[in-house]
A and B are shown apart, each in its own frame.
Chain A
Amino acid sequence: NAGVTQTPKFQVLKTGQSMTLQCAQDMNHNSMYWYRQDPGMGLRLIYYSASEGTTDKGEVPNGYNVSRLNKREFSLRLESAAPSQTSVYFCASSGDRQTLSYNEQFFGPGTRLTVL
């Protein structure tokens, strides 16, 4: 049981290049999330997916696209990378416990992305 896995761990891009960050979970969770973490700003939600086939924008979606490939996998794509997208990216997942009024999320180890 690996939990939430992310690839790659590190990546350096040049401005304008594209790449896809991969995320997979083996906990049979319906909901998956992408966050970015910047110094002094905590984590900010980029996109999330409440179930296979659905995606919704979060707080900072501009410059990103996502794909919920199946229940296990949720990828984040940067079509034309910019230096402002230099950050640490975290994927997370959660089960559907709305009736219990809390939402415990499980996080991957992160991808450290630098855009030059």
Chain B
Amino acid sequence: GNSVTQMEGPVTLSEEAFLTINCTYTATGYPSLFWYVQYPGEGLQLLLKATKADDKGSNKGFEATYRKETTSFHLEKGSVQVSDSAVYFCALSERGRRALTFGSGTRLQVQP
């Protein structure tokens, strides 16, 4: 079956530090990959996506590249802000299947 593995948190960084949150996946087909973000007290919002190998998704300074050879989709940001503090979820969706498979989430805390 499908699965998504994320690095455990919390990740604590100082403002303007570089961020990497690791995500690897297992899938039988050729999935689409997503990063969702959940701010305190809110539902999940799509942050970025990539639908095929070597695609790079980007949004709000965050980037992730779909690496088929390493089955990874690591999230990066060059300079984090306090407002980036949230829980980040990696997820995949296989072609022909409606449901998403989520990782366990990584909490990011950015200190001023």
Q: Could you tell me the distance in whole angstroms from the C-beta of A71 to the nearest C-beta in chain B? A: 15
Q: Summarize B's interface: helix, strand, loop or mixed.
A: loop
> Contact: B104 with A42, CB < 8 Å?
yes
Q: Could you tell me the distance in whole angstroms from the C-beta of A25 to the nearest C-beta in chain B? A: 12
> Contact: A94 with B95, CB < 8 Å?
no
> Contact: A90 with B44, CB < 8 Å?
yes
Of all chain B residues, which has the CB nearest A3? B43
> Contact: A50 with B49, CB < 8 Å?
no
> Contact: A48 with B49, CB < 8 Å?
no
> Contact: A102 with B32, CB < 8 Å?
yes
The CA of A42 and the CA of B107, in the complex, are separated in Å by: 11
> Contact: A50 with B98, CB < 8 Å?
yes
Flag whether A98 is at the interface (Cβ < 8 A): yes
> Contact: B32 with A103, CB < 8 Å?
yes
Contact string, B74-112, partner A, CB cutoff 8 A, digits 1/0?
A: 000000000000000100010111111011110000000
The CA of A104 and the CA of B89, in the complex, are separated in Å by: 14
Q: List 10 A-B contacts (CB under 8 A).
A: A31-B98, A42-B105, A43-B89, A43-B102, A48-B98, A101-B32, A101-B95, A104-B46, A107-B36, A107-B45
The CA of A101 and the CA of B55, in the complex, are separated in Å by: 14
> Contact: B104 with A98, CB < 8 Å?
no
Residues in B lying within 8 Å of A, measured CB to CB: 4, 30, 32, 34, 36, 41-46, 49, 51-52, 89, 93, 95-100, 102-105
Of all chain B residues, which has the CB nearest A43? B102
Contact string, A72-114, partner B, CB cutoff 8 A, digits 1/0?
A: 0000000000000000001010100010111111111110000
Of all chain A residues, which has the CB nearest B41? A109
> Contact: A58 with B99, CB < 8 Å?
yes
Q: Could you tell me the distance in whole angstroms from the C-beta of A64 to the nearest C-beta in chain B? A: 15
> Contact: A42 with B98, CB < 8 Å?
no
The CA of A43 and the CA of B103, in the complex, are separated in Å by: 8
Contacting residues, chain B, for A101 (C-beta < 8 A): 30, 32, 51-52, 95
Contacting residues, chain A, for B95 (C-beta < 8 A): 98, 101
Contacting residues, chain B, for A31 (C-beta < 8 A): 98
The CA of A50 and the CA of B32, in the complex, are separated in Å by: 19
